[in-house]
Chains A and B, each alone.
Chain A
């Protein structure tokens, strides 16, 4: 423990101790809901509200019940498919548009980019009803297209990637051009390998974002089989109202993939997002 090294003789030591105290309190606040969720998920149904903070009974029934009653396998599959498609296509559209904005010179580039960025200012909620009608008229309710297509391009991704491309010396591009490499060839052999950290961060960001989507899937899904895990949890909540342990178990199951992904890639996330912060 780091606290063992605190020297209470010096003011600096006291400051450090105070800082750790504060961190401990904040951590406890943050972890408290997680703790109650885990405790509730592990208790049998009739013990959930008895000594709710004490893990005095233990069973995994909640998890197996949640898995079967909640159709979680189907929901997880849907979430996985949708999040993967959105992530891959978002990377593609972001890289291509960012490359154009950063490396190509064409009339109206500045204005177009401003318009592009302006879409960041329109919250998704504002276009929700219109988007739903469009998806409905295309016959895409309860479909993977409906879940994924509205999110295949994002101004945020373009913006992020453009910053990185801007930091790339134009000489690289010129050298490649002299060797007879076209735009796509340059992107493939030089551009993308160089921006990989940022790309990784963007991928993670997209994946987390689409995995955690709630409002949209909930809105365009009316058939049980097409629910994502987040909208499915809501349904489970309504049918398992008097079984909090089951619901908590399902919540944990839904969160596991995202926790794993985060743990694996969090370094990349931080590195990638700060990579564009300092030019060069």
Chain B
């Protein structure tokens, strides 16, 4: 009954499918790119560069060696060719510079961002940042894409999967330009977080919070099933084993709740799982050596992986909540009175919200301490994670003062102090290691290990091409078609057929994007 009503509440509340803390499941709009038509299709050249159709980009010595791969066409773009970042313009200005910032963060993540921004506004008088919530990531991206440059905000927060689109749209100042211009020190940053927001050697956005999927589980159920509540499963094999024990003991109806949402089980987790096996998601080194031309998840590793998860559902060990519109369905399945699941996988960014909801007494019989967090179990023996989350982008052509003001805000947002507070409020991992040396994160990470799971699995991930994650132009759209295939599979469809069909569609999207850029 509880589940029914919870679902009713959510259905009434959510309407169209967007996730709680992440972006939506709506069909995506493709970013119309304003790059000159004379660009050769596969190059990610600096906007404004025009090459004759036959001409190639001069080779660059810094590119990775290419023994087995086709010659990389992605080169390091000279920063001088990109929009400049006048970091000193603020000092010359007089009066307060007003900045608008678009974001799509929800619940505790939004509260934390507001707190951070209020603190910034109070800390100085030259810049005032106004946050404008556009509903979710999907809405933020759509509105940004469809707006003229003049109607766009001064700063925008985008998730990691639109980096390529943003770079190709020629609408932002690469933060690399600001880093260089101001001599900003990024040595304490997690290298992978900076890579995640870079294409062709240029860092476009400054990561604000890093999230990755983690395992949420009900400790009470673990105890009832005779499992150690402090030891969550670390691989999919263990998930199966634990689930069997939970179901057999009658401690819960299901071991794990899964979903086929675009930004969770249907799209994002698949990227994470393939990386966990050391498998590429797309060709050309996940699209990092050269623009990807096709996805690889319809190959045997992807098929085996999803067959395994499908089998969990078939065997009654996992419960499929569907597309998880609202992003809360998997969590509510843990609180389902009649047929609960013991575990689910969700973004670490939800931790703050989960704790706030449980602390507020939303779920009867479940307190804040009853929920455990473990690393994301995957097909490999040890957990790993790709960088998820979001980054700040500076919109160009807004005037030197605004660009400088935006950079000032960004340096505040990623300062160790601000990061420390932000990760404590939300469950995001910090983008820099030294944020954990200051309060409040210092105590938080020590007193509540749940907060450090996402961080630990991120820094434990080996430096491997697969673990840089895929970067595709139409990544959002590709996730969409992939999620539909996963939904089909979770409902009992043929795995190979569903994945092959999705891959065909995804490859068309990629080809179409390449042709237009």
Contacts from A to B (Cβ < 8 Å): 33, 36-37, 40, 45-50, 52-53, 129, 132-133, 136-137, 139, 141, 218-219, 222-224, 234-235, 237-244, 247-248, 251
Measured between beta carbons, the chain A residues less than 8 angstroms from B111 are 239
A and B contact pairs by CB, cutoff 8 A, 28 listed? A33-B12, A36-B8, A36-B12, A40-B9, A46-B361, A47-B361, A52-B6, A53-B1, A129-B146, A136-B147, A136-B148, A218-B139, A219-B142, A219-B143, A222-B147, A223-B132, A224-B132, A234-B15, A234-B135, A238-B18, A238-B133, A239-B107, A239-B111, A239-B133, A241-B20, A242-B353, A242-B356, A251-B12
Q: Evaluate contact between B360 and A45: CB separation under 8 angstroms.
A: yes
Are B15 and A49 neighbours in the complex by a CB distance under 8 Å?
A: no
Q: Contact between B8 and A237 (Cβ–Cβ < 8 Å)?
A: no
Residues of B within 8 A of A36 (CB): 5, 8-9, 12
Q: Within the assembled complex, what's the spacing in Å between the Cα atoms of A222 and B151?
A: 9
Return A13 CB to nearest CB of chain B, in Å: 36
Does B102 interact with chain A (Cβ within 8 Å)?
Answer: yes
- Assess the A247–B6 pair: CB atoms within 8 A: no
Out of A52, A222, A235, A242, name the residue touching B360 (CB < 8 Å). A242
Q: State the CA gap A78–B305 with chains docked (Å).
A: 51
B52 within 8 A of A: no
Q: CB distance B110 to A238 under 8 Å?
A: yes
Nearest-neighbour CB distance to chain B for A229, whole angstroms, equals 14
Task: Please determine whether B8 and A141 come into contact, CB atoms closer than 8 angstroms.
Answer: no
CA distance A247 to B106 in the complex (A): 14
Q: Which of B146, B335, B362 has a CB less than 8 Å from the CB of A133?
A: B146
Partner of B147, one of A37, A141, A239: A141
Q: Which residues of chain A are near B147, meaning CB under 8 Å? A: 136, 141, 222
Contacts of A132 in B (CB 8 A): 146
CA distance A28 to B361 in the complex (A): 30
CA distance A251 to B9 in the complex (A): 11
Q: Would A248 and B362 count as touching, CB distance under 8 A?
A: no
CB of A147 to closest CB in B, whole Å: 15
Q: Contacts A45-B361, A141-B151; is A239 near B5 (CB within 8 Å)?
A: no
Considering the chains assembled together, what is the distance between the CA atoms of A199 and B139 in angstroms?
Answer: 37
Would B146 and A46 count as touching, CB distance under 8 A?
Answer: no
Q: How far is the CB of A78 from chain B (nearest CB, A)?
A: 16
Structural contact, A237 and B14, CB atoms closer than 8 A: yes
Q: Is the CB of B143 within 8 A of A222?
A: yes
| Distance between Cα atoms of A241 and B142 in the complex (Å) | 22
Candidates B18, B107, B135, B151; contact of A242 at CB < 8 Å: B107
Which residue from B13, B102, B364 sits with its C-beta under 8 Å from A222? Answer: B102
Chain B's nearest CB lies how many Å from the CB of A133? 7
- Interface residues of chain B, those whose CB is within 8 Å of chain A, are 1-2, 5-6, 8-9, 12-15, 18, 20, 29, 102, 104, 106-107, 110-111, 132-136, 139, 142-143, 146-148, 151, 153, 328, 335, 353, 356-357, 360-364
The answer to whether A224 and B9 touch across the interface, beta carbons within 8 angstroms, is no
Chain A residues near B110: list those with CB within 8 A.
238-239
Min Cβ gap B340→A in Å is 13
Residues of B within 8 A of A136 (CB): 146-148, 151
Q: Given contacts A239-B107, A241-B106, is CB(A222)–CB(B153) below 8 Å? A: yes
Compute how far the CA of A46 lies from the CA of B364 in the bound complex, rounded to whole angstroms. Answer: 8
Residues of B within 8 A of A52 (CB): 1-2, 5-6, 9
CA distance A238 to B328 in the complex (A): 12
Give the complex CA separation of A241 and B360 in angstroms: 12
Could you tell me the distance in whole angstroms from the C-beta of A128 to the nearest C-beta in chain B? Answer: 9
A243 cross-chain contacts in B, Cβ below 8 A = 360
Residues of B contacting A133 in the complex (Cβ-Cβ under 8 angstroms): 146, 148
Q: 12 more A-B contacts (CB under 8 A) besides A33-B8, A244-B362? A: A45-B362, A47-B361, A49-B335, A52-B1, A52-B6, A136-B147, A141-B147, A222-B147, A222-B153, A224-B133, A238-B18, A242-B107
Q: How near does chain B come to A31, taking the closest CB pair, in angstroms?
A: 13
- Do the beta carbons of A241 and B135 come within 8 Å of each other? no
**In the complex, which residues of chain A have a beta carbon less than 8 angstroms from the beta carbon of B364?**
49-50
Considering only CB atoms, which chain A residue lies closest to B11 in the complex?
A33
Contact residues in A for B12 (Cβ distance below 8 Å): 33, 36-37, 248, 251
Q: Residue on B with the closest CB to A34?
A: B12
Tell whether, in the assembled complex, residue B362 and residue A241 are in contact, meaning their CB atoms are under 8 Å apart: no
Using known A-B contacts A133-B146, A239-B133, determine if residue A248 contacts B9 with beta carbons closer than 8 Å: yes
B14 touches A137 (CB 8 A): no
Chain A residues within an 8 Å CB radius of B153 = 222
Please name the residue on chain A nearest to B15 by beta carbon: A234
